[in-house]
Structure 1
């Protein structure tokens, strides 16, 4: 008899499943809300640190590219003085703390702007190749760290010069809120720059603890630092739980600088920097659902499961095993004792037919042909009994799936998560503003080296090189005052023919199918002409793609969508009136709630219509040419996607119901396929055999209890055929009742 077939394995599997599910429900699923800090808060801090790492990496790479491209532009033109180089550099970019020009051969300082640079840390004899010009970190006498970016200034017939720019290693444009701190660490865990850290000794000690742990974790491989297939940030990132004091606990997130593509490094990522941010949050160790609920649910499952298993054992398993023994007895020729007929279902029908076959073998009068069938209770089939068991288990699973532990619209969202949504949205808005400002600065740098002596071919070469260095542009061209395009690189310009450059440095045009963001930088040497750059809309959308923020949209002054992190229709209104009102609040000059003295700024809110969602809006403030666009970045996401205790309890309740429903369906379905269907077929064949059908061969489907009964019926059929032959030959008178030799073995 097969070990995996028959009636016992499905019932045993059902019993084991119910016991395991009851244990999981009582001891594992019930552990909701026991954490001192909700997992959603930890995940939010990790996202916050990732935002900082992305901002720092983009800023450093942009600065390195800008200094190299600026030196290349100057070197491709007529020689200029070191002071002119630094003056022009300072007028276009305002992001370096200090700049200088050094004559490489003599080591003399030619010109300097801003703070004094640690030039003694530079080895001017080792500047060959790109590795010699790689950016490097140096520590000042006051303990601060600077990043030095290098580029060569070279003209024929003049000594080579080195252009040096220094910048601090602070995370740019990250909104910290009221109580958050952020720091930049090197590969050894030493703090290179920080922001938001006060004079408190406790904060500094906490940062040192984090720095030591983060340095160890950041040294792991990115593929080993996260769960397989987690996606998201390409580098090493995570969260840490710090010390607890006075009902508050410090929570940190960390992220190592990494390229935008997995495995592709940049000049900034080669520095081995890591960003760590931490904030103190209130501990909320309150279970969302009382543990008694889960214990009671486990107990109810045990009671209902015991009833279901007992019903299967009493009404299906025992009668089938008894029928197996009776059929084997009849097949062996033991005909004097009547068959014990079960009371229910197909086994009752088979038992009644088997008893009629016994009497036919004995040659009792009236036993041949149609005879009495099983009673009314036999009409209750095995399928009905299994359905009753399924209903018993559904009584436990259905409330968990549909009713219990439902998180309504009154779910409390932790304030830290709401604050993080607001601050991260503000950081994203600043990231867009900086990108647009950087683009205009690049155009200004190109325009500064174009004069009336520059040929169209030279302009085209310059534009193509700029477009290759900065992938943000779809099209670059030089536009004269009369609207004539002198040179271009990239796609076809979308400006209106005959129109000169706009007086606005950045414009947004509705082209009918997608927004066209165009930047203008006047070329002083061409008398009214300008260098024009049309930005790729994909570049804007790529800036808005950050995990953990949900839906992200950039809207213009009329609250029309101009960019997003996923599918949207250009210049369409926001989908929710409350989101539109939130954008209006963020741009109010009088501040939130009518409080005077506060300008536009980020706002957040909990939306409770049709479910709970958290939303935030942040206008692009901070200066630069991009601020004139009056854009706002708005984000929103459903709270049910966050690891909040209330939703975690709901999800685990649904999971328990699904496990119960799936396990019951699998075990009962297994029983239906392996036992019930063959048993129904066997009942019909047994009744037909008892009614006189001797020609149809009865063969088993499975090698189990039902198959064993089937083989016994086939033996009885052959015995009846042999008996008919003997009766036809006149041998029936000499046959002794009850001693018929079997025609085969069971």
Structure 2
């Protein structure tokens, strides 16, 4: 066998004795991994940063106009709010009956007197009867005829609500309460009108609201007509009714058609009516139909140039790292294995990379000493591996900053349709809050009528009902002429002691403090006492969520009373756009505006009635960044791409620094120490990769310099440290912790030798 072949075999045997783990170890793993990640980010940048989205490559209809995502989402919120409003209207009489049950009004045996008292108390009831379900006879009646025949065959075991259709008129709601005592087996049936959304319709959007039953029958419609010949619209309505009947909610969009010079697309949203706290189910759904202008979405690909630039940087950085960092280290490993295996005839190839050059120079000196020859001429390094890594990372960070500063900061154009829709939602939210406040006062007035001639203690049952867990009131109480609380239900009163205003109505008690105190009050008949209900402010804020974005209620001094997001009570508005629109709303002017950052709309709470005395304004701001606009998608994608690239750049730097540069420098320091003549200390390989192999070769050369060339070609334990090794092996077997850092290093070395099978 010739000598080169023999040397290769010895190097191969030595290489087999030194373990090198796989991923994530290895000097080339970091550059390869970051290169793959950068390719993925470049693909994301090219495809996702498009005004039409990545699917436009395979879907031609993405190039057509479409209704904004914010418009469709707003329609869904509005429909859900309408469904909740219908449920509240449908269960209003049920709540009244629950309150009346605690008043003792049912104690009278005279049915006519009972109905007269209830009819005078609840003026919005259309009709009320006492009905014998067994004989199917009406025993007493008051007001309009009640269609009790719809209850035949219905098992009414508890409070039950059922809708009743009236052709060409507003639907009725029948509320049936099983009576007890002497009237056991009979029902008290109340008919009320179901509140519709006719006043809330957006005429510009040709909106129609439908109440649909579970079998698809239309119970009531309001708003613009949808032609029966409009097959696409009818199909959308049918699909929506079917989905809503299954207690689902959602939104459907049809194809746009030309109408009056505009491209209009039908939008159908649906939501089930889900009342709580009653027996049975209403079996109703709200289906909203509208037509909105589509937004032309020209297909633009602003991400192509940044993606191409990132691809160039990824390839250039990968090649640079492989040529200047990975390849020199692997070449050094090959030469170090050859020297450690005893192949001393071939000089060690020197490197221009400073970290690698320190080791190659030292290994070349080992080779020359073992051969007793002069070393080859040194090569002066001119580049640092750490500098290369820093340059590649800085280039990627520069790309990240450029993308974030350009595509990541562009502003989206908001169409007038979106601003109009936002204003309509704010108006509806203000109307919802106004109705809730007014209904709270009405509830107090009803209790006051039922409590005529009674002592405050006899009102306990009704007050507890009004201040229940699902109530709009946080506390309800009876106060005397000086405002002192005599009977309390619910939580502790927050109103400061003092005389209450004359008459009845709604008031804001304070303009500073920890919590806004808003209350309704009405006098108790034949008494100097006043019935007061303090509203639950967080529950008031929940009524405003359908407007979208951040919605606030501010008083006359522009102090915050309620907010859908976290806030400080009575915190004053500071945004000039909000202040401007609140002033416009307070003066009765149109208050809608698009700012560079948000859609802003404001609406006065009430122009007349009891709620007008509060002088409140509902103001909402919807960040443009949250709208489903094409430019927003590009901006969000650009920010994601910039952030991911910055993370990869930092990972690239940290990975190379910790896994390649610093370990290589440690081996270089040890190698130079040995080359300088200090051969007493053992070199411990701390890694199972190419650099660990180089460290093992340096240790073999150190042993050969001490004990002669016979030590070359095999991995051996250091002979001069047998006692220390025996002691360390005993500690390892006993799982004792190392006593010093040197012991820890020796411990690691012995474990490595054991894994190598030496």
Normalising by structure 2, what TM-score? 0.81
Change (3 A) 1:522 1:149: same
In the TM superposition, what are the counterparts of 1:40-55 in structure 2 within 5 Å? 40-55=70-85
Q: Is the 8 A contact 1:49 1:276 kept in 2?
A: yes
1:82 is displaced (CA, Å) by 3.6
Q: Is the 8 A contact 1:480 1:528 kept in 2?
A: yes
Q: Is the 8 A contact 2:121 2:449 kept in 1?
A: no
Number of the residue aligned with 2:297? 286
Paired with 2:35 and 2:498, the residues of 1 have a C-alpha distance of 83
RMSD: 3.3
Number of the residue aligned with 1:57? 87
1:327 is displaced (CA, Å) by 0.7
Number of the residue aligned with 1:343? 352
Paired with 2:154 and 2:266, the residues of 1 have a C-alpha distance of 48
Change (3 A) 1:90 1:345: farther
Change (3 A) 1:741 1:682: closer
1:308 is displaced (CA, Å) by 0.6
Paired with 1:312 and 1:390, the residues of 2 have a C-alpha distance of 11
Residue 421, structure 1, aligned to residue 391, structure 2? no
1:355 is displaced (CA, Å) by 1.0
Change (3 A) 1:489 1:284: closer
Residue 605, structure 1, aligned to residue 605, structure 2? no
Q: Is the 8 A contact 1:181 1:197 kept in 2?
A: yes
Number of the residue aligned with 2:704? 719
Change (3 A) 1:489 1:172: farther
SS at match of 1:468: coil
Choose from 246, 260, 272 the match for 1:256.
272
Instruction: Write out per-residue CA displacement over residues 369-424 of structure 1, whole angstroms, 9 at most, x where no aligned residue.
Output: xx9865142xx22111111221232332221122335224xx42122322222111
Of the structure 1 ranges 631-640 and 509-518, higher mean CA displacement relative to structure 2 is found in: 509-518
1:720 is displaced (CA, Å) by 0.8
Choose from 5, 28, 36 the match for 2:48.
28
Choose from 391, 394, 400 the match for 1:391.
394
Number of the residue aligned with 1:382? 385
Number of the residue aligned with 2:188? 162
In the TM superposition, what are the counterparts of 1:102-141 in structure 2 within 5 Å? 102-104=131-133, 107-108=137-138, 110-114=140-144, 116-123=145-152, 126-127=155-156, 129-130=157-158, 133-140=159-166
In the TM superposition, what are the counterparts of 1:69-84 in structure 2 within 5 Å? 69-70=99-100, 73=103, 75-78=105-108, 82=112
1:154 is displaced (CA, Å) by 6.2
Q: Is the 8 A contact 1:515 1:570 kept in 2?
A: yes
Change (3 A) 1:306 1:151: same
Residue 315, structure 1, aligned to residue 303, structure 2? no
Paired with 1:350 and 1:113, the residues of 2 have a C-alpha distance of 104
Q: Is the 8 A contact 1:477 1:486 kept in 2?
A: yes
Paired with 1:381 and 1:159, the residues of 2 have a C-alpha distance of 96
Change (3 A) 1:657 1:172: same
In the TM superposition, what are the counterparts of 1:189-200 in structure 2 within 5 Å? 189-198=216-225, 200=227
Q: Is the 8 A contact 2:468 2:490 kept in 1?
A: no
1:206 is displaced (CA, Å) by 1.6
Paired with 1:273 and 1:314, the residues of 2 have a C-alpha distance of 72
Choose from 639, 662, 684 the match for 1:677.
662
Of the structure 1 ranges 483-492 and 295-304, higher mean CA displacement relative to structure 2 is found in: 483-492
Paired with 1:740 and 1:470, the residues of 2 have a C-alpha distance of 91
Choose from 714, 719, 730 the match for 1:744.
714
Aligned length: 679
Number of the residue aligned with 2:208? 181
Q: Is the 8 A contact 2:430 2:604 kept in 1?
A: yes
Paired with 1:740 and 1:159, the residues of 2 have a C-alpha distance of 111
Number of the residue aligned with 1:12? 32
Instruction: Write out per-residue CA displacement over residues 138-181 of structure 1, whole angstroms, 9 at most, x where no aligned residue.
Output: 44566985432112466758995523214337348745353233
Paired with 1:563 and 1:645, the residues of 2 have a C-alpha distance of 33
Q: Is the 8 A contact 2:243 2:249 kept in 1?
A: no
Q: Is the 8 A contact 1:501 1:530 kept in 2?
A: no
1:554 is displaced (CA, Å) by 1.4
Q: Is the 8 A contact 2:172 2:191 kept in 1?
A: no
1:79 is displaced (CA, Å) by 5.0
Change (3 A) 1:90 1:364: same
Change (3 A) 1:43 1:269: farther
Paired with 1:498 and 1:388, the residues of 2 have a C-alpha distance of 74
Paired with 2:496 and 2:701, the residues of 1 have a C-alpha distance of 98
Paired with 2:497 and 2:39, the residues of 1 have a C-alpha distance of 78
Number of the residue aligned with 1:515? 516
Number of the residue aligned with 2:478? 478
Residue 277, structure 1, aligned to residue 293, structure 2? no
Q: Is the 8 A contact 2:115 2:142 kept in 1?
A: no
1:58 is displaced (CA, Å) by 2.6
Change (3 A) 1:425 1:134: same
SS at match of 2:34: helix
Change (3 A) 1:503 1:146: closer
Change (3 A) 1:712 1:543: same
Paired with 1:192 and 1:666, the residues of 2 have a C-alpha distance of 63
In the TM superposition, what are the counterparts of 1:181-580 in structure 2 within 5 Å? 181-198=208-225, 200-201=227-228, 206-216=233-243, 219=246, 236-246=248-258, 247-258=263-274, 265-267=276-278, 270-287=281-298, 290-291=300-301, 293-364=302-373, 374-377=379-382, 380-408=383-411, 411-452=412-453, 454-468=454-468, 471-481=471-481, 487-491=487-491, 499=499, 502-510=502-510, 512-513=512-513, 514-524=515-525, 526-544=526-544, 546=545, 549-580=548-579
Q: Is the 8 A contact 1:425 1:633 kept in 2?
A: yes
Q: Is the 8 A contact 2:254 2:267 kept in 1?
A: yes
Number of the residue aligned with 1:736? none
Instruction: Write out per-residue CA displacement over residues 98-132 of structure 1, whole angstroms, 9 at most, x where no aligned residue.
Output: 54444555613632434x443222228844x31xx
Q: Is the 8 A contact 2:552 2:560 kept in 1?
A: yes
Q: Is the 8 A contact 1:83 1:111 kept in 2?
A: no
Residue 655, structure 1, aligned to residue 655, structure 2? no
Number of the residue aligned with 1:150? 176
Number of the residue aligned with 2:694? 709
Change (3 A) 1:310 1:494: closer
1:721 is displaced (CA, Å) by 0.8
Normalising by structure 1, what TM-score? 0.82
SS at match of 2:204: coil
Q: Is the 8 A contact 2:127 2:141 kept in 1?
A: no
SS at match of 2:643: helix
Paired with 1:497 and 1:405, the residues of 2 have a C-alpha distance of 56
Choose from 607, 614, 617 the match for 1:632.
617
SS at match of 2:137: coil
Paired with 2:469 and 2:665, the residues of 1 have a C-alpha distance of 76
Change (3 A) 1:125 1:698: closer
Paired with 1:202 and 1:447, the residues of 2 have a C-alpha distance of 54
Paired with 1:567 and 1:667, the residues of 2 have a C-alpha distance of 40
Unaligned runs of 5+ in 2: 1-19, 54-61, 717-758
Q: Is the 8 A contact 2:556 2:615 kept in 1?
A: yes
Of the structure 1 ranges 166-175 and 331-340, higher mean CA displacement relative to structure 2 is found in: 166-175
1:485 is displaced (CA, Å) by 5.5
